[in-house]
């Protein structure tokens, strides 16, 4: 795994609408957050996002994802551990279609 890679966790509702995105270095195994009872979290892949990119560009990229995409999961949404090392995978799809990113 490259040193500059970023992992992204999407906090979302049961319809996949993204409430917020969390980003952390790929080498960090554990990050935790408190979820509301109606929230779920899945790790998603965000292309063109790396630690060697300016912070302003990282925030702009994450805002673009939040605005234009939702999370699609192929398994039934269930309670997910808040330890992100154990986070299930989801995928980003455009809000206007089911086409994956």
Mean per-residue pLDDT over the chain, rounded: 81
Q: Where are the domains of the chain?
A: 6-94
pLDDT number for residue 67:
95
Q: Please state the separation of Cα 84 from the chain's center in Å.
A: 11
- Rounded CA-CA distance 56/42 in Å is 24
pLDDT in tens, 23-67: 888 877 667 788 999 899 999 999 888 888 888 998 999 999 999
CA 11-51-21 angle, 5° bins: 10
What DSSP string runs through 33-64? Answer: -PPPTT-EEEEE--TT-BTTS-HHHHHHHHHH
Q: Is the pLDDT of residue 75 over 80?
A: no
User: What pTM did the predictor assign?
Assistant: 0.79
């Amino acid at each position: 795994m490259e040193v500059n890679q970023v992992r992204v966790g999407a906090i979302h509702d049961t319809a996949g609408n993204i409430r917020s995105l969390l980003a952390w270095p790929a080498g960090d195994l554990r990050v935790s957050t408190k979820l509301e009872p109606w929230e779920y979290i899945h790790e998603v892949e965000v292309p063109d996002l790396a630690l060697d990119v300016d912070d302003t560009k990282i925030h702009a990229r994450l805002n673009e994802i939040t605005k234009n995409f939702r999370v699609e999961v192929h398994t039934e949404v269930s309670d997910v551990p808040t330890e992100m090392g154990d986070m299930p995978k989801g995928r980003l799809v455009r809000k206007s279609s089911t086409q994956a990113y």
